[in-house]
Structure 1
Amino acid sequence: MNTMAHSSSVDNAETHSHASPAAEIARTLSSAFADNAGHIDATDTFVADNYRLLQEAGLVEIGVPLELGGGGANVTELAEMLRIIAHACPSTALAFSMHTHQVAIPAWRWQHQKLAAVEPLLKRVAAEKLILLSSGGSDWIGGSGKAVKVDGGYRISARKIFTSGANAGNLLMTGAMVENDDGSHNVIHFAAPMKAEGVSVVETWKAMGMRGTGSNDVIFDNLFIPDSGVALSRKAGEWHPLFQIISTIAFPLIYAVYLGVAESARDIAVGLAGKKPLSAHSFNLAGRMDTNLRAAQLAHQWMVNIAARNAPSATTVNETMIGRSLIAEHAIKAVDLAMELAGGSGFYRDNRLEQRFRDIQGARYHPLQQGPQAHYAGAMALGQPVDHIF
Structure 2
Amino acid sequence: MTFELTPRTGPGATVVTAAESLVTTFAERAEAADAENEMCRENFDDLFTSGISSAFVPQELGGFGLESIHDWTLAIATLARGDASTAIAITMHHAIARRMAQIYSLANTDLGPDHELTRDLAAPLRKMASGEMLVCATATEIGTDNLHPVTEVVRHRHGDRDGWRINGQKIFVTMSPIATHVSTVARLRDDDGDNMANIVLPMDTPGLLPQNDWDALGMRGSGSQSVVFKDAWVPESALSRIGPWGKWSLKYLEFRAIANIVLVGAFLGIAEAAYDIALAKLLTRSRVGQLAAEQSGIQNLVGEMALELAQCRAVLGAAGVQMDEYCERHSTSAASMEDAHGLMNDYQTAKWTVNRGAIGVVSKAMDLLGGSGYTNSHVLGRLYRDVRAGPFMQPFGPAELREYVGQVTLGQYPER
CA distance in 2 between counterparts of 1:229 and 1:44 reads: 32
Q: 1:369 to 1:255 in 2, by over 3 A?
A: same
Q: Are 1:35 and 2:24 counterparts?
A: no
Normalized against structure 2, the TM-score is what?
Answer: 0.84
1:5 matched residue in structure 2: none
Q: Is residue 2:91 matched to residue 1:91?
A: no
Kindly indicate whether the alpha-carbon contact (under 8 Å) linking 2:214 and 2:223 is maintained by their aligned counterparts in 1: yes
User: 2:72 maps to which residue?
Assistant: 78
* Distance (whole Å) between structure 2 residues aligned to residue 37 and residue 219 of structure 1: 28
Q: Shift in Å at residue 176 of structure 1?
A: 1.8
2:167 alignment partner in structure 1: 157
Tell whether 2:109 aligns with 1:106: no
User: In structure 2, what is the Cα distance between the partners aligned to 1:63 and 1:32?
Assistant: 23
Is 1:123 the counterpart of 2:126 in the alignment?
yes
Give a deviation string over 1:116-169, Cα, whole Å, max 9, x none. 464443233224441111114347222231212112111111211101111111
Instruction: Quote how far apart the aligned CAs of 1:32 are.
Output: 2.1
- 1:174 maps onto 2:184 in alignment: yes
> In structure 2, what is the Cα distance between the partners aligned to 1:57 and 1:292?
32
Identity of counterpart residues, as a percentage? 25
Mapping 1:168-247, distance limit 5 Å: 168-180=178-190, 185-247=194-256
Structure 1 ranges of 4+ moved more than 6 A: none
The count of aligned residue pairs is 377
**Offset from partner CA, 1:9-67 (integer Å, 9 cap, x none):** 5xx75323667111121222223212211111111121222112212222221111213
Say whether residues 1:298 and 2:304 are aligned partners: no
The equivalent residue for 1:370 is 398
- TM-score using structure 1 length: 0.90
Distance 1:126 1:13 in 2: 33
Structure 2 SS opposite 1:177: strand
Contact kept in structure 1, 2:195 and 2:241, CA below 8 Å: no
263-272 or 64-73, which deviates more: 64-73
Kept in 2, the 8 Å contact 1:332–1:360? The answer is yes
Q: Is the 8 A contact 2:155 2:190 kept in 1?
A: no
Q: What residue ranges of structure 2 are gaps of 5+ in the alignment?
A: 109-113
What is the root-mean-square deviation of aligned Cα atoms in Å? 2.2
Aligned 8 A contact 2:242 2:249 in 1: no
Secondary structure of residue in 2 paired with 1:234:
strand
Q: Which residue does 2:280 correspond to in 1?
A: 271
Separation in 1, partners of 2:400, 2:122:
34
Paired with 2:302 and 2:7, the residues of 1 have a C-alpha distance of: 23
Matched, 1:332 2:359: yes
**Contact 2:218-2:389 at 8 Å conserved across structures:** yes
Match of 1:4 in 2: none
Aligned-partner Cα distance in 2 for 1:302–1:95: 24
Query: 3-state SS of the aligned residue for 2:147?
Result: coil
